[in-house]
């Protein structure tokens, strides 16, 4: 049964003044949701105007998601303006790319603060709201968290140590939220999207097809976010999806490749050298924990300016 109607629901979308966040806010509004549009600047007001022009309801709340108190402010704004909070889409983010040996403390802190702390701040405020609502109602309520990770956490790009670390942390945050909040009726999932936006304008080459909706249009990702926010996705929880083009790929959890057990109950360094070193001597140097196979998912035909 299809049940993707969001009429009467209220969503908060961070970083929604442009790019992917804007598309997500518009998609949720098109599904019937009221939307709290968060961003740092004037873009949030423009998105609110777009939603209202289409017959929807929205308000803009400017603010930096890296400021912990903003999470509670966004939750409060949703409840005050529309009477409820049902959906959280954590999207806001920045990049400060650098090789690890050139990474500055500020470049590290800025990315971790906006991405990971920003996700955590709003998620914590929403979780407290839903827990209290569930206790008041005497049973589960309606709650959806959609977090934004990246393929960078799967691949470990050499010039994005800060970004990859933040995105990996977001996946762990998502799993903890999914397990800790399911009893209250809340789901939490993460998406690793690709989308052509102002921020990625210099990253992706043009759509080689040249016709129809751009294969990397953010609207394609936003449609999936709208689905995850809907009643129809109630059974989807604690999952990670790679999303772009005409594809949604569900990632499998890591598996145990090999175990080493001490012959006499306690390892010696020599035994480890004999067994572990021998095992890795027969293994390609490029075969690490990185999920390089995710690159095989790309059938868009869109290259990157990096080559």
From the list 23, 123, 134, 150, the catalytic residue is 150
Active-site annotation holds for 150: yes
The token duo for 230 is 């809907």
Which residue out of 123, 134, 142, 167 is catalytically annotated?
167
Task: Determine contact, residues 60/47, Cβ cutoff 8 Å.
Answer: yes
163 is catalytic: yes
- Among 163, 184, 230, 244, which one carries the catalytic annotation? 163
Gyration radius of the chain's alpha carbons: 21
Q: Quick one: CA dihedral 112, 116, 118, 121, positive or negative?
A: negative
Q: Apex CA 57: angle with CA 116 and CA 134, to 5°?
A: 55
Torsion angles phi and psi, residue 172, rounded to 5: -65, -40
Q: Is 279 a catalytic residue?
A: no
Which positions are annotated as active-site residues? 150, 163, 167
């Amino acid at each position: 049964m299809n049940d993707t109607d969001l009429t009467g629901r209220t969503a908060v979308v961070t970083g929604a003044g442009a790019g992917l966040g804007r598309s997500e806010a518009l998609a949720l509004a098109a599904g019937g949701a009221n939307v709290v549009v968060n961003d740092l600047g004037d873009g949030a007001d423009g998105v609110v105007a777009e939603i209202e022009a289409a017959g929807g309801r929205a308000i803009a709340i400017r603010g930096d998601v890296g400021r912990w108190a903003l999470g509670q402010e966004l939750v409060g704004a949703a409840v005050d303006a529309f009477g409820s909070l049902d959906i959280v889409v954590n999207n806001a983010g920045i990049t400060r790319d650098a090789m690890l040996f050139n990474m500055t403390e500020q470049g590290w802190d800025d990315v971790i603060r906006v991405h990971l702390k920003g996700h955590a701040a709003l998620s914590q405020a929403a979780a407290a709201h839903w827990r209290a609502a569930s206790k008041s109602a005497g049973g589960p309520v309606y709650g959806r968290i959609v977090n934004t990770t990246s393929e960078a956490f799967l691949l470990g790009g050499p010039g994005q140590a800060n970004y990859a670390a933040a995105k990996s942390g977001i996946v762990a945050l998502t799993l903890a939220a999914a397990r800790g909040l399911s009893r209250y009726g809340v789901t939490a999932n993460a998406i690793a999207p690709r989308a052509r936006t102002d921020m990625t304008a210099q990253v992706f080459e043009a759509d080689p097809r040249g016709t129809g909706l751009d294969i990397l249009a953010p609207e394609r990702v936003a449609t999936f976010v709208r689905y995850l926010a809907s009643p129809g996705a109630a059974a989807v929880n604690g999952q990670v999806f790679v999303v772009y083009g005409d594809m949604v790929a569900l990632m499998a959890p890591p598996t145990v490749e090999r175990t080493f057990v001490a012959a006499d109950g306690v390892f010696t360094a020599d035994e480890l050298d004999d067994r572990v070193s021998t095992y890795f001597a027969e293994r390609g140097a490029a075969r690490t924990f990185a999920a390089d196979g995710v690159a095989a998912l790309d059938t868009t035909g869109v290259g990157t300016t990096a080559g």
